[in-house]
Structure formats: structure tokens, C-alpha cells
């Protein structure tokens, strides 16, 4: 079974947000890139579709549509910020499912695109039997690694942005197999519960967005949760993973009774849940501490839990039966990768899997001025280079335009010097267009290579950096190139090869600049 079929197998959750009336159907093409093939699940947060990425030759992805319709510009920006946080997190930790893209369908319905992974979720594993101690230590060590990465925060526009999950539970922990690393645990839905919480908030208390059986006392009471709320939910999940049962139970599955249970009921000990289960004392102590009613009585960060898991693993792992599909060093490898990602030498230490990975980890070149400019530069990937446009804008403009539609247009001249004008625009009805033109010299080797990449791939990456924040892109998007324009690029490249320059590149740039101004209104009308 794959990730798509397990995303929405949830225990009873909080009431639904208002659903959209948007009619989604297989065959629909999303932002000219993702063709929906089948709906594979529906739950309180929305629906999940299997889809094919048309730009990448039909690669299968998962598309999740959120049921909360975006009725205001503020809500749209909040969704974009949370989705961007999820995208950044997925490129920083092995143990967080990667968000590949996001946007709005018919200008109101938010969706995000995830990697499609073969495997099963932890809830389904526990329906068969509880985890062995060896497997528990490995999988929970990886879950802690992903959660620690989120709680440490990510850099967005120069600010540290801490991500609280709000819905840690077995069905949001996906277990897959990696040929190189063995068994992997990955966390789903980072940032989305927080987005839904903000859009539904209309009073002094926080609406509960999560799953009742796993919600912390403060979260279910309407208080503002922090990382220690995730730690409580993790404690419930760890207890259930070892015993197959919950440490706290409500007599009836209602909000009021779950609220009373989490706030007043003392959690069962392991010996009460399973008298035959032998748990190392340090492990039992840290799990029970996670279940404390008051946040200050719990471990104050995930690293404290991870350290106990490491200690127990190192002290007794040789006596434990090892699952055949795991490797002992996986948690250690994940920790090393996290350290490398914080190192300036990260670009040379890690081989990224995709152009998106390379894009998110790119740094503004030192030889390019930090100003509101745009320039073309290829992304060097392990398998194949990718075309990219690098731009620098004001951080607030990037934030406001993250859900804009993306377009491109090309103009060419062969005289006096073969030159291409590459016009990228992002557009919304409220804000109008943002133009980002740049030039490609068709007599220059790098320029010809870039044009070839654009023509053959049919898309390029748009890397948006904030002013004075050159260390990482504030956002990465993909721009599709329509088939007629791809054909033009290929033809122009062939024709330019046989042309002789009779003037300077500057003269051709001036000619294209004037032509661009004369056709800009026509281009805008098509947007």
C-alpha cells in the first residue's frame, strides 16, 4: 500500500472545516502540470488524489486539497506561508514527507503536492501488532529527528520560523523502505494543521485542530500550543506503539469526554497496559514524562527524548532481535545529514535527489549584486542539469505573490547579434503582473546551453530570494513553457548557430527592450 491510501485513515478528529463546493474530477489538469488520475481518500482536512506530473514525464505524485476555502487575501497568504514551511522542512530532513508544490485551484481551494511514497503508516502497522523494542527505537528515533528539525525552526525571509505539527499520531507517521538506508519513518502534514487553526480562529481561544485521542491538555483546552504539545502527542504515540493501546481513554468518543480524560485522567503505566511487556526504565520514564498534564513537567525539547532513545539503543541493542529491513546506523546517518545541512560546505557534501532539492539549498552567488534583478543560471544536479531563473525581490513582495500564477514569454532577434529575451511574469487580479525579464546570448556557450535546457525540459525553476537574505531562497516555484514556445526556442537555437554577429549584444538588447515594451500590454491581456 502506498502513502496516498494511508493519508486519510484517521481516528476520530475535530469537526470539519467548511468544505469547498469545487468539483474535482480525474483528468483535471492542475496549474498546467498535475493531471489528477484518481481520488484515493477523503477526510476532515480534505481529499487526496493520485496525480501525474506532466512536466516530469508522468511521475506519480500525491495532491492534497484542503477543505478550507480561502475567502480572503490574508488567508491565502497564511496558507502559502505554511505550505512553504512544509516545503522547506521536507528538504531539510529525511524524516519529513516533502512538499513539492502548492497553489490555489480556481483561486480559492488550496492544495499542495507531495512526493508519492510506497509503504504503510504506523497506525496500520499497529493494527497487526505492536512494535518490537528494536524497531521502536529505530522508528521513533527517526520521528524525533524530523520533529526536532521542525521545532528548531527554518529560516524564512531572515526570520527563524518554528513549525509546530499539532497532530502527531500513528496515521501521520509513514513507514517506507529505502534501498540504501533501510526502513524510514516520515512525518506527514507539517504546518497544515497550524494553517487551518489560524483560518478558523475567531475568538480569544484557539479552535482545536487535531485528533482527540492524541491532543495535549492545553491544545484541547483552546490554549496556544508550543513544541511541548507535540511532545505530549508523541508520548501517546510512543505508548501505543509499544503496547498497542492508548495510555488515556475516554468513555465515549466525544470532545467533552476526551477533554476531561486528557486534563484529569492519569495515564496508565506500561505494566497496566501489558503486564508481560519489559521496557527499560529510562525509556518508560521519558514516555511517562511526555504525558505530564503541565507542559513544564514534560521534556522541554525533542532532543531530550532522542538522547534517551540513543542511550537505550546503545546499551542493549546487541541483545535485541533486529528487523531484517532496518539498519542500526540509520538514526546516526540522519543526525549527520542534519549537521551537514547547517554547514557552509553542505553543497559539496550532499548529492541531492532532484532539481527542487538543489534549488531550495542554493545560495545567491557572491559575484551577483544583492539587488532587485533577475538572471539565468543552471542548477547542477546529480542526474541532469535544470534551467533556472534567479530573482531577488523585497521579502514582503515574495510573501504576497507566492500564490500568483506563473507565465513565460520569449522574444528573439538575430541582428545585429543573436539574442533572446526571456520574460517571466507572476500575476494575480488583485496585484497585477510582476515582470522579470532577462537576456540570453545565443552566441555564448552558456546561453546556448540554457536555451537547450529550456526547450528540451519544457519548464524551469524560479528561485526567489529576499533582499538581504541571500543564504537560501524564500520561495521556489516551477514555470511551464507552452509547447509552441518550446518549438520556437529549438528553432531559434538552430538558426542562431548559422548567423554571424554584425553588431554588439548591447544593440540587440536595446532592440528587444523596445519590442518588449510594445508587446507588454498584449502579453498582459493573455494573463
User: Would you please indicate which residues are annotated as catalytic (active-site) residues?
Assistant: 167
Q: What is the DSSP string of 325-363?
A: T--TTHHHHHHHHHHHHTSTTHHHH---SSHHHHHHT--
Alpha-carbon gap, residue 350 to 343, rounded angstroms: 11
What angle is formed at CA 140 by the lines to CA 135 and CA 146, rounded to 5 degrees? Answer: 135
Q: Is 64 annotated as a binding residue?
A: yes
Packing angle between helix 302-316 and helix 133-152, nearest 10 degrees? 150
Rounded to whole angstroms, how far apart are CA atoms 106 and 96? 28
Report the distance separating Cα 369 and Cα 61, nearest Å: 37
Residue 162 three-state SS: coil
Please give the Cα distance from 94 to 144 (Å, whole number): 11
CB 415 within 8 A of CB 437: no
DSSP symbol at 103: E
Q: Are 355 and 386 in contact (CB under 8 A)?
A: yes
Torsion of CA 60, 62, 65, 66, to 10 degrees: -170
Pick from 156, 161, 190, 160: nearest CA to 173: 190
Q: Is 238 helix (H, G, I), strand (E, B) or coil?
A: helix
* Residue 69 grid cell: 476555502
E strand residue ranges, 44-148:
46-53, 59-66, 99-105, 109-115, 119-121
C-alpha triplet 97, 334, 329: angle, nearest 5°? 125
Assign 419 to helix, strand or coil.
strand
Q: Which residues are annotated as a binding site?
A: 64
Q: Which residues are annotated as a binding site for ATP?
A: 64
Amino acid at each position: 500500500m502506498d502513502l496516498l491510501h494511508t493519508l486519510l485513515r484517521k481516528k476520530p478528529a475535530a469537526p470539519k472545516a467548511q468544505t469547498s463546493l469545487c468539483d474535482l474530477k480525474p483528468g483535471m489538469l492542475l496549474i498546467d502540470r498535475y493531471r489528477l488520475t484518481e481520488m484515493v481518500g477523503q477526510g476532515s482536512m480534505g481529499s487526496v488524489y493520485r496525480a501525474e506530473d506532466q512536466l516530469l514525464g508522468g511521475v506519480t505524485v500525491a495532491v492534497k486539497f484542503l477543505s478550507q476555502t480561502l475567502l480572503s487575501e490574508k488567508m491565502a497568504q497564511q496558507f502559502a506561508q505554511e505550505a512553504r514551511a512544509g516545503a522547506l522542512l521536507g528538504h531539510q530532513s529525511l524524516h519529513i514527507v516533502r512538499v513539492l508544490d502548492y497553489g490555489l485551484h480556481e483561486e480559492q481551494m488550496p492544495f499542495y503536492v507531495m512526493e508519492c511514497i510506497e509503504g504503510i503508516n504506523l497506525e496500520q502497522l499497529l493494527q497487526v501488532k505492536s512494535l518490537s523494542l528494536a524497531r521502536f527505537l529505530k522508528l521513533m528515533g527517526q520521528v524525533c529527528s524530523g520533529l526536532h528539525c521542525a521545532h528548531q525552526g527554518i529560516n524564512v525571509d531572515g526570520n527563524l520560523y518554528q513549525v509546530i505539527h499539532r497532530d502527531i499520531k500513528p496515521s501521520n507517521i509513514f513507514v517506507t523502505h529505502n534501498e540504501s538506508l533501510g526502513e524510514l519513518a516520515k512525518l506527514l502534514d507539517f504546518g497544515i494543521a497550524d494553517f487551518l487553526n489560524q483560518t478558523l480562529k475567531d475568538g480569544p481561544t484557539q479552535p482545536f485542530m487535531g485528533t482527540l485521542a492524541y491532543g495535549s491538555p492545553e491544545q484541547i483546552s483552546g490554549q496556544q500550543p508550543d513544541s511541548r504539545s507535540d511532545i505530549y502527542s508523541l508520548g501517546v504515540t510512543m505508548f501505543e506503539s509499544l503496547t498497542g493501546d492508548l495510555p488515556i481513554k475516554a468513555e465515549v468518543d466525544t470532545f467533552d469526554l476526551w477533554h476531561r480524560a486528557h486534563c484529569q485522567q492519569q495515564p496508565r503505566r506500561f505494566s497496566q497496559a501489558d503486564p508481560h511487556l519489559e521496557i527499560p526504565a529510562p525509556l518508560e520514564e521519558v514516555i511517562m514524562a511526555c504525558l505530564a498534564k503541565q507542559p513544564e513537567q514534560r521534556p522541554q525539547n525533542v532532543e531530550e527524548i532522542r538522547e534517551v532513545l540513543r542511550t537505550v539503543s546503545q546499551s542493549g541493542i546487541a541483545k535485541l532481535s533486529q528487523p531484517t529491513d532496518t539498519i542500526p546506523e540509520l538514526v546516526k546517518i540522519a543526525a549527520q545529514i542534519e549537521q551537514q545541512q547547517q554547514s557552509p560546505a553542505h553543497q559539496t557534501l550532499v548529492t541531492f535527489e532532484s532539481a527542487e532539492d538543489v534549488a531550495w539549498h542554493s545560495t545567491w552567488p557572491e559575484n551577483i549584486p544583492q539587488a532587485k534583478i533577475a538572471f539565468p543560471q543552471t542548477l547542477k544536479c546529480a542526474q541532469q542539469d535544470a534551467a533556472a531563473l534567479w530573482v531577488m525581490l523585497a521579502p514582503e513582495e515574495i510573501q504576497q505573490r507566492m500564490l500568483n500564477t506563473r507565465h513565460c514569454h520569449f522574444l528573439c532577434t538575430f541582428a545585429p547579434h543573436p539574442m533572446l529575451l526571456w520574460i517571466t511574469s507572476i500575476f494575480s487580479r488583485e496585484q497585477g503582473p510582476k515582470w522579470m525579464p532577462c537576456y540570453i546570448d545565443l552566441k555564448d556557450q552558456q546561453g546556448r546551453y540554457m536555451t537547450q535546457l529550456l526547450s528540451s525540459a519544457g519548464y524551469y525553476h524560479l528561485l526567489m530570494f529576499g533582499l538581504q537574505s541571500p543564504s537560501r531562497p524564500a520561495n521556489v516555484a516551477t514555470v511551464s513553457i507552452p509547447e509552441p514556445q518550446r518549438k520556437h526556442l529549438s528553432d531559434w537555437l538552430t538558426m542562431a548557430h548559422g548567423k554571424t554577429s554584425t553588431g554588439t549584444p548591447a544593440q540587440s538588447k536595446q532592440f528587444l527592450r523596445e519590442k518588449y515594451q510594445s508587446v507588454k500590454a498584449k502579453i498582459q491581456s493573455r494573463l
